[in-house]
Structures are given as C-alpha cells and as structure tokens.
Amino acid sequence: MAEVTTSRKACSVNPLKMSQPLGAMLAFMGLNHCMPTMHGSQGCTSFGLVLFVRHFREMIPMQTTAMNEVTTILGGMDNIEQAIMNIWDRARPDVIGLASTGLTETKGDDVDAYLKLIRAKHPEIDEMAIIYVSTPDYVGAFQDGWSRAVVRIIEELATPCSVKQLNRINVLPGCHLTPGDLEEIREIIEAFELVAVFIPDISGALDGHIPDNFTPTTLGGTTREQLHSMGAARATIAIGEQMHAAAIELEMKTGVPYTVFDRLTGLAANDRLLQHLSSLSGRPVPQKYRRQRSQLQDAMLDAHFFTGGKKVAIGAEPDLLWSLGSFLAEMGCELSAAVTTTHSPLLEKLPIAEVLIGDLEDLEARAAGCDLLITHAHGRQMAERMQLPLFRVGIPTFDRLGAAHKLTVGYRGTRDLVFELGNIFLSHAHEATPSTWSPEPINCSSDCGSSCQGSGAGIPAPTSMAAATV
C-alpha cells in the first residue's frame, strides 16, 4: 500500500507532466477523418504539434482557433466559428475534435452555447460531428485529457442499437497504449473470431504507414459508422483505470456491459484477458496463445536471475506506472521511486511506500542508488547525470525510433519486455575486481549506493558504471 503525496514545491523542475488538451488531441487523432483543434492561442497547438511529430514521426493534423489578446477578452465565438468553417472548407472532415485550453477556460468561454449558435447559423455543416471537451491546462494531466475526450466522444455519438452484432467487442484503450499495442490486442481478440472496434483507434492514423494520397485530416482511426454503432457491440473491454468512466458512460447510454482490465502487461494480467475472451466467444484459447504463454513463462525463468532484487525508479502517468510497476514487482524488482502526474485510484495499490505526484527533479532525488530509470525521453539528462541506464516509455519519446510500435501488452509483448529489461540489467552487471572482497574500504561514490548495499553479502563494487541509455 502506497501513500500518495503531492509535491509541495512552488517550482516544478523538469516536468514529467504534459497538459490535458494535448491528451484530448491524441484521443481525437484516433478518429477517422478528424481534425483535432485546440481552442487557444496558436502556441498551444504549435507546441503540441511539434511534440507529437517528434514522437510519432508522422504528419500530425492539428488546428487552432488562434486566439489573441483581444478575442480572448471579447470571447472566442467568432474564432471558433471561423476555425470550424475554415476547416470545413479546406478539409471536409467527418469530425472536429475541439478542446479548450487554460487561456479560454480562464476567460470562461461557454463553448457549448457557441456551438449551438454556430450550428443554427450553418446548417451546411450538419453532417460533420463537432465534439467539444473542456480541458483546462491548469487541471489534471495528459491522461485526464484523453479520458475526458473519450467520455465526450461517447456522450455525443453513442446510441442504443436494437440490432446487435454478436461478435463485436468495443475496446476502450488508455493513452498509455501504443499503436503497436492496439494491433496486438486486436489480433488477440480476432483469434477468438470476435471483431474489435477501438474507440479511439490511434493504430489507424499513427502506426507509421504510407498512405496513397495526401489527407489534411487524420488518415485512419475509428470511423463515424463504427462510432454510431458502439451500442451494437456485445461487450466493452476497457484497458486502464483511466477508461473506467468512459466504459460506464457507454454502458449507461447503450446498455453494453463492460469489463475493465487495469493492465495487459504480465502473465496473470493476460491470463485474465484470454479467459474473458474465451468465455465471451465460447471458444477455447487458441493454440497460438497457449504457446506464447509458455514462451513468456520460459522468458521469465531465463530473466529472473537478472531482474531479481534490482531497484527501479519510474516516472510515468498513472496507468503506465501501474502496468510497469506491477509487472516489475512480479519480476522480483524493487520499486524504489515512483513519480506520477495526476491522481488515480490505482496509485495506492502500488508496491511501494510512497507515490509522488511531482516532476523529474523529484524522481532524480529519489532515484539515487537505483539500477534502472524508467520514464519518457526527458529522463535523458537525469540518466546522464546519474550514469544510470534509461528505459524510455510513454510520450514523448523523441530521441529513439519506433515509439509507435513499442509493444508491452499480450504474452508476446510481455515476453519481449522481459528480455529487453533483462538485457539492460545484464549489460550493466558489475564485474568483480581484485578489490571487490578486499577488507580495505571500497572507494565507492554515493550514487552507486545500491550496488554496494543491494545484493547481500560479498558485494561487487562497481569500478566503473558506464553511462548508458537504452
């Protein structure tokens, strides 16, 4: 049981957190033919755009209502109207996903009312959905923006369906899952002869493929038709606690029952998923997955020598922290520091004394003596200073390729993760030297403390700890 505390500093140093509207933008990027748009100053969109482009290495459609000082004071209705009409004229999207920002929330723009007036004035855009979500920058974090946006998508577009599609499953994925993860989950579900519809589906637009033509909007994702028929599904699977609210909303609107999986990384977590799919479909777990399960067990056996007793510091959003933290504990690692961005009921259940809602400076202060750092790419400076290996997870990962295809779910994804982490520990093993067991005091710098105290008697002293990032 962990105690959840909030950093009391006035100054956040080396932020771990990103803002709510950005999370909402990513959710809208999982809708087909959508134009995600921020209601704010053009910089709000520009920073987010650069961040996503660097992470996904993809074209990112994203627009802004381009608020300035005067329009902010007078209210943003004209800007929203112009933005919607310009986007309509230029791109003809199926959906505009609109998120507010700190600026327009501080002013108090009543966007719902604006949209009603704009709709009444422009019947020609009736066929285009406009989904508005309120996401002030100064509340919550990226993950909250994502889950709020998904709730709003469901509120706006889900309807009860009298005709059911018996093999259809709605999947509500959290923002901690990559396009690669979504593909893997789809494959698992389809192996039970079920059809998975992801809401939203970032594997459609952000999986790094080459389209035949130029599209100014998102070039894949959940289609309008799929959104309208959410109510026809037989069941909903939500992945990550952040999707709990969306799953409840969907059940309330359409009657489709839901199951929340807190994570899909780890052996038992995937057993639960496959058992659930088996009972939903009435089919046995396919041979392929029985084999993969056995491979994962074998990988865990091979790796446990190297993961056991290792100290790990993680900085990640709640659901990602929960997935990786719980899994690392299952691999015998000790969670020695956990920093996150926002509240979640899961935080208290993490196997660590304290979970801090804070920044990377806090993580750095708590990570002394660790064997491994796990956080996003901004951990690179810290890793270099501390001479610790860094395993990059989450958004942004801008200094490595293939972030969209990083796979950590399913038996196969967990197996690869076991190997990857095991290899980091292997390549940072401390070799014995003549002075290792010498009775003379060992010259050991403070930041390699754990290696000196950590693994029981006869401790190898690190002669050199290479700075390495993974």
Partner 1 sequence: MASLSEKVQDVFNEPGCEVNQVKGEKERKKGCSKQLTPGAAAGGCAFDGAKIALQPITDVAHLVHGPIACEGNGWDNRGAKSSDSLLYRTGFTTDITELDVVYGGEKRLYKAIREILDKYDPPAVFVYQTCVTALIGDDIDAVCKAASAKFGRPIIPINAPGFVGSKNLGNKLAGEALLEHVIGTVEPETTTPYDINIIGEYNLAGELWQVKPLLDELGIRVLACISGDAKYHEVASSHRAKAAMMVCSKAMINVARKMEERYGIPFFEGSFYGISDMSESLRQIATLLVQQGAPADLLARTEKVIFREESRAWEAINAYRKRMEGKRVLLITGGVKSWSVVSALQEAGLEIVGTSVKKSTAEDKEKIKELMGEDAHMFDDMRPRDMYAMLRESRADIMLSGGRSQFVALKAKMPWLDINQERHHAYAGYVGMVELVKQIEQALYHPVWAQVRQLAPWEEQAASNDQPGLRLDSQYPSTQVALNG
419: contact with partner 1 by CB under 8 A: no
Q: How many residues does the chain have?
A: 470
Query: Out of 139, 195, 442, 452, which residue is the one contacting partner 1 (CB under 8 A)?
Result: 139
Residue 238 as a binder of partner 1 (CB under 8 A): the answer is no
Angstrom distances, CA of residue 325 to CA of 88, 136, 266, 311, 315: 44, 29, 11, 11, 10
Q: Output 67 or 230, the one with its CB closest to partner 1.
A: 67
Residue spans of alpha helices (H) in 66-159 = 69-74, 77-91, 102-107, 111-121, 142-157
Please name the amino acid found at residue 328. L
Q: What is the DSSP letter of 3?
A: E
Does residue number 107 form part of the binding site for partner 1 (CB under 8 A)? yes
Give the DSSP letter of residue 38: E
DSSP structure string for 340-352: ESS--TTGGGSSS
Tell me the closest approach of the beta carbon of residue 373 to partner 1, in angstroms: 16
Stretch that binds partner 1, among 110-118, 133-141, 327-335, 451-459 (CB under 8 A): 133-141
Instruction: Count CA within 13 A, CB hemisphere, residue 105.
Output: 15
Report the distance separating Cα 418 and Cα 350, nearest Å.
20
Complex with partner 1: residue 44 or 296, whichever CB lies closer = 44
Rounded to an integer, what distance in angstroms lies between the CA atom of residue 182 and that of residue 240?
13
Residues 197-236 that bind partner 1 (CB under 8 A): 210-211, 214, 216
The encoded tokens of residue 329 equal 């504990």
Contacting partner 1 (CB under 8 A), which of 10, 120, 401, 466? 10
The overall longest dimension of the chain from CA atoms, in Å, is: 85
54 or 276: CB nearest partner 1: 54
Which of positions 67-106 make contact with partner 1 (CB under 8 A)? Answer: 67-69, 72, 79-80, 82-87, 90, 101-103, 106
Any contact of residue 469 with partner 1 (CB under 8 A)? no
Angle CA 147–153–154, to nearest 5: 95
What is the Cα–Cα distance from 466 to 15, expressed in whole angstroms?
Answer: 26
The DSSP letter of residue 161 is -
Which of 5, 50, 74, 294 binds partner 1 (CB under 8 A)? It is 50
Closest distance to partner 1 from the beta carbon of 28 (Å): 15
The nearer residue to partner 1, 82 or 455, going by C-beta atoms, is 82
Name which position in 66, 169, 185, 314 contacts partner 1 (CB under 8 A): 66
Binding status of residue 18 toward partner 1 by CB under 8 A: yes
Q: Which of residues 293-322 bind partner 1 (CB under 8 A)?
A: none
Tell me how far CA of residue 428 lies from CA of 285, 422, 470, in angstroms.
Answer: 38, 10, 11
259 close to 235: Cβ distance less than 8 angstroms = yes
**β-bridge partners, 356:** 5, 339
Q: Which is nearer to partner 1, 53 or 285 (CB)?
A: 53
Per CB under 8 A, which of residues 27..46 are in contact with partner 1? 37, 40-46
Between 378 and 407, how does the x/- string for binding to partner 1 read (CB under 8 A)?
Answer: x--x----------------x---------
Of 2, 22, 407, 409, the one binding partner 1 (CB under 8 A) is 22
Binding site for partner 1 (CB under 8 A): 9-15, 17-19, 21-22, 37, 40-51, 53-54, 57-59, 63-69, 72, 79-80, 82-87, 90, 101-103, 106-107, 136-139, 141, 210-211, 214, 216, 359, 378, 381, 398
